Amino acid sequence: MLRIKSIPAALAVGVLAIFTSINTASAEMASVQTLASPCAGCHGVNGVSVGPATPSIAGLTEAYFLDSMATYKSGKRKGTIMSRIAKGYTDEETKAMAKLFASMKFGRTTQMSDAGLAAKGKELHAEFCDSCHEQDGRKADGIGVLGGQIAAYLDYTIADFYSGVRTMEKRKAQKMNAFKAEHGADGIKAVVQFYASQK
Amino acid sequence: MTKVNQNVSRRSFMQLSGGAAAASALIGLPTIARGAGKDVVIVGGGPAGATAARYLRMIDPSVKVTLIEANATYHTCFMSNEVIGDLRTMESISTTYDGLKSAGVNVVQDMVTSIDTKAKKVMTKGGNTYSYERCIVAPGIDFKYELTDGYDAKTAETITHAWKAGPQTATLAKQVKAMDDGGVVCIVAPPNPFRCPPGPYERASLIANYMKKHKPKSKVIIFDSKDKFSKQGLFTQAWKKFYGFGTDNAMIEWMPAAKLGKINAIHAKDMVVETDFEQLKAAVINFIPAQKAGKIAFAAGLTDKSGWCPVKKLTFESSMVPNVHVLGDASIATKMPKSGYSANSQGKWVAQAVVALLNGKQPGVPSFVNTCYSRAADDWAFSVAAVYKLNMEKNLIGGVKGAGGLSPMDASAEDRKREVAYGHSWYNNIKKDIWG
Ligand SMILES: Cc1cc2nc3c(=O)[nH]c(=O)nc-3n(C[C@H](O)[C@H](O)[C@H](O)COP(=O)(O)OP(=O)(O)OC[C@H]3O[C@@H](n4cnc5c(N)ncnc54)[C@H](O)[C@@H]3O)c2cc1C
């Protein structure tokens, strides 16, 4: 009967970032924790995805998060499923989630990557991407995180930029097009490997 | 039979054992410092029960959580169709309870035999008794074997349902592999409501996907207890594209109830499925019976005439019995389908609601998500999604208008392929979210 012995002593673990702030119950709106916790089913515990494809969303800046959700909602930004999800939340609810996810840390899942390609990707990134995606693509200000993001998601997204499924502002389009013209599919593979290699 | 209350035993253990070694083993256990009356006992360690357990511990570490689960290893039904279709291993769909243990959940491997809802005690086959302030019952489903002649739990070991993942999943996978080319696999699909509405059709797809590569003269025939089914348009489109659906060489045929009448009997010796209007001899039969809430829900008086458990929609507290919450497949969650994602989403909300109630607070407002990915071929999957809110006036949990729905019929092949990878991501992430 002394089952207590089977419980490990190290119980400090398991404090979920989503639930570290006080759950503010209100009569009208679900608390932000209640709203955001189901996202983990696809985006991972604490918004950190283990892959192989769904992106991590913790640590995205408020502005980028809000813009993503708004454009999914309006249909301007296309995806396989996020439009259907984003439409389920009011602007107020979305704003609350944007704050919460922005306050959480972007976690990097260890991914398989080719060291040689990653090294080449690092140079290409510096030349073509770093002017906006600063600090090896780790800085998320208004543009999403590339460094450590799930590789398949980056592949899909880059393909969508080139096919026009996802729109680009002019300066980004110029750089992206120059990059493709000079380095082609191998160059794209290399930068993605560089992002995937980041821990 | 030693019936010892856990609390009492725990306290007396501490008093008796005063020694340094014993004390140090307990250091850091919030259970020691906890206030009285924060004991939650959870019955069942599937997605519903395990999620509730983990989230209870995360939200309020002063809550003492005991989870009683019959098995040491859990096999997820989700992705089990990929095992049957020779696309993944049994190992890859299994999980232990170690993650829950390290989150501070007292995991007990035992079978709950009864719940005394007046005395607030849970009794187990192993002879133990666990007191609770709040009990969470999440036993999943049981089968209405009584509706079909010649089918029972024993027969199911060879003519599988494989609707609880585990040994039967492996058996069915083996049978499909061992079958001669030219054989017929008959899947009998159950009447509503049942666990995972698109599941039988995904299973048919992935068996056909396997046959196409290894046994091209074989086919799957679905005998349905219904005249329509979940994601029918998307499945039919995929079946036409990949398996010649509707042609003379179809690798999948679907027979609706209108053509079959009632499914009456399984003749195990002759491998025949008998309905009002048809008899089919098959090389492999996969019989998925009609369903009801898990056995313990009946024993505890939690079910109504439907065979499922009615609950108050805000907290999932039983409408029949106070202080007992029922979630996952066993509950009647109005519009939410019986799925792993629903169970997971309910587990999180009920954990929040139970913590509020234990601390004398209002539970607030719930919000849920469900998504179900179905894979129809190697590079072809689609999904259904919804965000759910509670409508207090209508007492129902319904999808937010304008949101959710199916993957579009005209999605590109690229998007269908991406949904395979996103489905796998969902699986990896939710498994970690549930069991740690
Ligand atoms: C083929 C198939 C494919 C599926 N695919 C998907 C999918 O892609 N996505 C999705 O979201 N869902 C899917 N599902 C549905 C999903 O598996 C179920 O909805 C989910 O398992 C329900 O969770 P639960 O916790 O309510 O019950 P269960 O998973 O059944 O867990 C109940 C647990 O309680 C234990 N238990 C029961 N009674 C007792 C007792 N008296 N004492 C102790 N322990 C007890 C059982 O051993 C079990 O571990 C699929 C199902 C099938 C069959």
Helical axes A62-74 vs A91-103, angle rounded to 10°: 140
3 state DSSP class of B386: strand
Q: What is the pLDDT of residue A24?
A: 56
Contact state of B59 with A19 under an 8 Å Cβ cutoff: yes
Instruction: Identify whether residues B255 and B297 lie together within a single domain.
Output: no
**Residue B102, in any domain of the structure:** yes
Residues A21-31 have pLDDT tens digits of 545 556 689 99
Q: What is the pLDDT of residue B398?
A: 95
A12 touches chain B (CB under 8 A): yes
Instruction: Identify whether residues B171 and B283 lie together within a single domain.
Output: yes
Does the C-beta of B280 come closer than 6 Å to ligand 1? no
Instruction: Identify whether residues B105 and B196 lie together within a single domain.
Output: no
Which two tokens mark B420? 């395979």
Q: What is the CATH number of the domain that holds A57?
A: 1.10.760.10
Is the pTM higher than 0.80? The answer reads yes
Last residue of a domain, one of A67, A102, A137: A102
3 state DSSP class of B432: helix
Last residue of a domain, one of B287, B313, B330: B287
Residue the block writes with tokens 């007492």 = B395
Of A75, A17, A87, the closest CA to residue A46 belongs to A17
Instruction: Identify whether residues B302 and B243 lie together within a single domain.
Output: no
Q: Which residues contact B244 (CB under 8 A, 6 or more apart)?
A: B250, B251
CB burial of residue A164 (10 Å; 0-12, 13-18, 19+): exposed
Instruction: Identify whether residues A21 and A91 lie together within a single domain.
Output: yes
A116 touches chain B (CB under 8 A): no
Does the C-beta of B80 come closer than 6 Å to ligand 1? yes
Does the C-beta of B329 come closer than 6 Å to ligand 1? yes
Of A131, A168, A143, the closest CA to residue A64 belongs to A143
Contact state of B425 with A5 under an 8 Å Cβ cutoff: no
**Residue A2, in any domain of the structure:** no
Q: What is the pLDDT of residue B37?
A: 74
Centre of ligand 1 from the C-alpha of residue B49, in Å: 10
Contact state of A4 with B4 under an 8 Å Cβ cutoff: no
Instruction: Identify whether residues B37 and B101 lie together within a single domain.
Output: yes
Q: What is the CATH number of the domain that holds B158?
A: 3.50.50.60
3 state DSSP class of B304: coil
Residue range A84-104: average pLDDT? 97
Cα–Cα distance measured from residue A134 to residue A112, given in angstroms and rounded to the nearest whole number:
23
Cα–Cα distance measured from residue B9 to residue B2, given in angstroms and rounded to the nearest whole number:
11
The total of structural domains in chain A comes to 2
**Residue A182, in any domain of the structure:** yes
**Residue A1, in any domain of the structure:** no
Contact state of B422 with A53 under an 8 Å Cβ cutoff: yes
Instruction: Identify whether residues B72 and B168 lie together within a single domain.
Output: no
**Residue B436, in any domain of the structure:** no
**Residue B205, in any domain of the structure:** yes
Instruction: Identify whether residues B281 and B228 lie together within a single domain.
Output: yes
Nearest by CB: A8 against B6, B101, B369:
B101
Whether pLDDT at A187 is above 50 = yes
Interface of A with B in 32-61 (CB under 8 A): 33-35, 37-45, 49-54
How far from chain centre, in Å, is Cα B8?
34
B430 vs A contacts (CB less than 8 Å): 40-42
Of B322, B354, B320, the closest CA to residue B49 belongs to B354
The total of structural domains in chain B comes to 2
Give the C-alpha distances (Å, rounded to integers) separating B100 from A15, A39, A155, B106, B330. Answer: 13, 20, 35, 8, 22
Instruction: Identify whether residues A72 and A144 lie together within a single domain.
Output: no
**Residue A160, in any domain of the structure:** yes
Q: What is the pLDDT of residue B14?
A: 27
A89 touches chain B (CB under 8 A): yes
Instruction: Identify whether residues B151 and B270 lie together within a single domain.
Output: yes
Interface A-B: count of C-beta contacts within 8 A: 190
Nearest by CB: B13 against A4, A80, A81:
A4
Q: How confident is the model at residue A106 (pLDDT cuts 50, 70, 90)?
A: very high
Q: What is the DSSP string of B208-249?
A: HHHHHHH-TT-EEEEEESSS--TTHHHHHHHHHHHH-TTSTT
Nearest by CB: B387 against A25, A40, A85:
A85
ipTM of the complex: 0.91
Instruction: Say if CB B399 and CB B44 are below 8 A apart.
Output: no
**Residue A132, in any domain of the structure:** yes
Query: Each residue's pLDDT tens digit in chain B (436 positions)?
Result: 333 333 333 332 222 222 222 322 232 233 333 445 799 999 999 999 999 999 999 999 999 999 999 999 999 999 999 999 999 999 999 999 999 999 999 999 999 999 999 999 999 999 999 999 999 999 999 999 999 999 999 999 999 999 999 999 999 999 999 999 999 999 999 999 999 999 999 999 999 999 999 999 999 999 999 999 999 999 999 999 999 999 999 999 999 999 999 999 999 999 999 999 999 999 999 999 999 999 999 999 999 999 999 999 999 999 999 999 999 999 999 899 999 999 999 999 999 999 999 999 999 999 999 999 999 999 999 999 999 999 988 889 999 999 999 999 999 999 999 999 999 999 999 999 999 9
**Residue B409, in any domain of the structure:** yes
Residues A1-18 have pLDDT tens digits of 333 333 333 333 333 467
Instruction: Identify whether residues A186 and A129 lie together within a single domain.
Output: yes
Instruction: Identify whether residues A24 and A95 lie together within a single domain.
Output: yes
Q: Which residues contact B146 (CB under 8 A, 6 or more apart)?
A: none
B10 vs A contacts (CB less than 8 Å): 4
- Residues recorded for chain A: 199
Does the C-beta of B53 come closer than 6 Å to ligand 1? no
Q: What is the pLDDT of residue B19?
A: 29
Of B128, B122, B130, the closest CA to residue B1 belongs to B128
- What residues make up the domain containing A21? 9-102
Q: What is the pLDDT of residue B393?
A: 86
Does the C-beta of B198 come closer than 6 Å to ligand 1? no
Instruction: Identify whether residues B228 and B362 lie together within a single domain.
Output: no
Cis peptide before A52 (omega within 30 of 0): yes
**Residue B377, in any domain of the structure:** yes
Instruction: Identify whether residues B308 and B402 lie together within a single domain.
Output: yes
**Residue B5, in any domain of the structure:** no
Instruction: Identify whether residues A16 and A47 lie together within a single domain.
Output: yes
Q: What is the DSSP string of A113-177?
A: --HHHHHHHHHHHHHHTTTTSHHHHT--TTT---TT--HHHHHHHHHHHHHTSS---HHHHHHHH
Last residue of a domain, one of B257, B287, B317: B287
Instruction: Identify whether residues A77 and A153 lie together within a single domain.
Output: no
Give the C-alpha distances (Å, rounded to integers) separating B316 from A22, B44, B62, B328, B428. Answer: 22, 16, 22, 10, 27
Q: How far is A52 from chain B (nearest CA, A)?
A: 5
Instruction: Identify whether residues B14 and B70 lie together within a single domain.
Output: yes
Of B74, B143, B128, the closest CA to residue B295 belongs to B143
Instruction: Say if CB B103 and CB A13 are below 8 A apart.
Output: yes
How is residue B5 annotated by DSSP? B
**Residue A107, in any domain of the structure:** no
Does the C-beta of B43 come closer than 6 Å to ligand 1? yes
**Residue A126, in any domain of the structure:** yes
Closest-CA residue of B relative to A51 is B425
Residues B68-87 have pLDDT tens digits of 999 999 999 999 999 999 99
Residues B300-317 have pLDDT tens digits of 999 999 999 999 999 999
Does the C-beta of B104 come closer than 6 Å to ligand 1? no
Instruction: Identify whether residues A74 and A129 lie together within a single domain.
Output: no
Last residue of a domain, one of B242, B264, B287: B287
- What residues make up the domain containing B386? 10-142+291-431
**Residue A95, in any domain of the structure:** yes
